[in-house]
A and B are shown apart, each in its own frame.
Chain A
């Protein structure tokens, strides 16, 4: 069965520091992978997605993620965090034959000035 693990429940970083949020998935075939962000009081917004091809994908707001098949990972990164990046981040996995997404439990990011 498909599953997604986000091992970090809560991360705190200083503004301007680099960021990496971890995501590990379990799926037999090539997964479709997504990162969503949820700002306080808002719905989920897609940051980036991976279907195939280049394993390093660029997203909005300066985020990128790298698909590593050997590690079953799809970690989200940003070189310099801004205070406005404080939010909850969700990794999700899907596949071509289900059109359903399985979400991780989320990582809450706190940014200190």
Chain B
């Protein structure tokens, strides 16, 4: 089984709809991240969480919100989706101990807003 899972893998929604993307991990890591990937722009950080009570905005948080329901779960919400939020979304985790700083990525969610 994959260590970092994302649901759904693909989603098409309409402008103005609320949508939630979910991320779960079995790695036991404290730190979790949400990124979006757009062609030619690489990965940009939306939100990150260093533990259940610590949530921080990334470089492009406008229009998004997150919830860290448990150490293993980190959800990303689009309260009112708009077409320019069409992108590939990745969840990632990292270990706060051992100073490895490596991030482990889920398979991604392809979101299309029409």
Contact = CB atoms under 8 A, between A and B. Distances in A.
Contact of A105 (B41, B48, B90): B41
Interface in B34-62: 35, 40-45, 48, 50, 58
A67 to B, nearest CB: 15
A105 B39 CA distance: 8
Chain A interface size, as a band, is 20 to 34
Interface in B64-114: 90, 92, 94, 96, 99, 101-108
Interface residues of B, number: 26
A44 B90 contact: yes
Interface SS of B by simple majority: strand
Contacts of A100: 33, 45, 48, 58
Interface centre among A90, A96, A101 (most CB of B within 10 A): A101
Interface SS of A by simple majority: loop
A19 to B, nearest CB: 20
Contacts of A46: 102-104
6 contacts: A32-B101, A100-B45, A100-B48, A101-B45, A103-B35, A106-B42
